[in-house]
Structure 1
């Protein structure tokens, strides 16, 4: 029995893929003990997800493991996500996975315009200088480093909190949000798929990578952050439609929030 066959039998990672995984999931990185997390039927919207959503380590993982798995993503098709420990929904399988193919039906532009139209009327003063008029998407940033390297750095920072690690079958980091079935923004947006469309756009424009998730939190690395006040303000407008709580229950106004993200190589979000 080969090393790869041993890994296949012990982790069953091929079950995460609709086609059984083929050779994509053979890892040279030795995984710690872990289990496959299956969705609760009560949380499976269409009762069509007949396979596990992701693999989850039994215990917190050391710094460095995330980056080693991230480096193998292109070959394995598995994206690592650090997952906050404790009594989380994924511990009980209370997750609602969807097919990443659904993300193709949404755009960051459409999500932003819809959210702005729904919410801006109640916060016109706080949204200075834009007011009720949606400004549209910000221009792309200029990379300061390779996105993978920035993600590895931030994963090591998060790993200091001693968190377990998940592996999701995802072609890119944004898609892992949907594959895992995370529901942390439920009170803001009922469906996670449109949020993943925003993450895809941020991957392309700002070198963003999904690094960690909590019950209602999200941690992203950023390789091409805004470096001017004007650009940061445009990015802040997008952040507000993505996660209003991060702006209004934090700094309080769009302009104050924008000051905080200038040159910042990570974005943290939390939903009330």
Structure 2
């Protein structure tokens, strides 16, 4: 069976069209980051393929919205997100940290088995000693995976919520100097895997598993990835959980997805549900 021809990487157009006019964009000055090449490609002298485009300087309020609007009109196959630097890790996307070739295909994974396995790996094991607060860490849930939280219909357009939150995070200094980035991907949840982001490597080295979860959150809660840092991710939520009772199953998913949010943050799933999930349109994750 003949394979369909490979779709051209739209980033290649930016080499000769740096503003992205052909893509319906008016980009600020930026640079292409090439896909890492294996030894065989280095020996053969094969042409490098761009992995992502990043603005040369931080961007302000409204830039992500304008870029996403242009990409939506043209259907270029690119996704726009913000990349946040950190002191000592400036331009982390240029430091050899991105490994797209080491990721599996998100289509090969399903959210519930992924979260069930994550949960089994992070909940305390009584036989190994839970410590004084071990019993309360996952309450009201036990060691068994509690299952997926129920779907909630967004009250607002998920994209509008995402863009409004991005601007708020810039204004409030949560994202003090974000760069605009373009990544070839079919949807926002696919961006970390497509660019080979490894910010959660101490929890899970195959980012495709995280993408499988974020795809499900897109569908169940109108969540959208809006920003990535070296080891952090920020998602908007168009269907926030209105009560602590509704938030608890989602908090359990977050604990499985990013245990450091609880281990080094709220201290328990219940406290995390109250502090970070109930009523929140912003889900922030950080992996140590």
Residue equivalent to 1:106: 109
Q: Which runs of 4+ in 1 moved over 6 A?
A: none
- Structure 1 range deviating more: 162-171 or 93-102: 93-102
Cα offsets for 1:8-47 (capped at 9, x unmatched): 613397xxxxxxxxxxx932221011111124447xxxxx
Q: Distance in 2 between matches of 1:11 and 1:99?
A: 29
- Structure 1 range deviating more: 144-153 or 87-96: 87-96
Give the TM-score normalised by structure 2: 0.80
Q: Distance in 1 between matches of 2:71 and 2:209?
A: 23
Number of aligned positions between the proteins: 252
Residue equivalent to 1:243: 258
Shift of 1:262: 0.9
Say if 2:188 and 2:225, in contact at 8 Å, map to a contact too.
yes
Shift of 1:144: 2.4
Given the alignment of the two structures, is residue 152 of structure 1 paired with residue 198 of structure 2, yes or no?
no
Q: Which runs of 5+ in 2 are unaligned?
A: 1-11, 39-45, 126-133
Residue equivalent to 1:265: 281
Bigger-Rg structure (1/2): 2
Q: Distance in 1 between matches of 2:101 and 2:283?
A: 24
The secondary structure found in structure 1 opposite 2:105 is helix
Q: Distance in 1 between matches of 2:184 and 2:79?
A: 6
Residue equivalent to 1:78: 78
Q: Distance in 2 between matches of 1:202 and 1:98?
A: 25
Cα offsets for 1:43-91 (capped at 9, x unmatched): xxxxx99622110110011211101121233322211111113524302
Say if 1:225 and 1:264, in contact at 8 Å, map to a contact too.
yes
Task: State the superposition RMSD in angstroms.
Answer: 2.5
Residue equivalent to 1:170: 185
Give the TM-score normalised by structure 1: 0.85
Task: Work out which of the residue numbers 19, 24, 29 in structure 2 matches 1:28.
Answer: 24
The secondary structure found in structure 2 opposite 1:241 is helix
Q: Which runs of 5+ in 1 are unaligned?
A: 14-24, 43-47
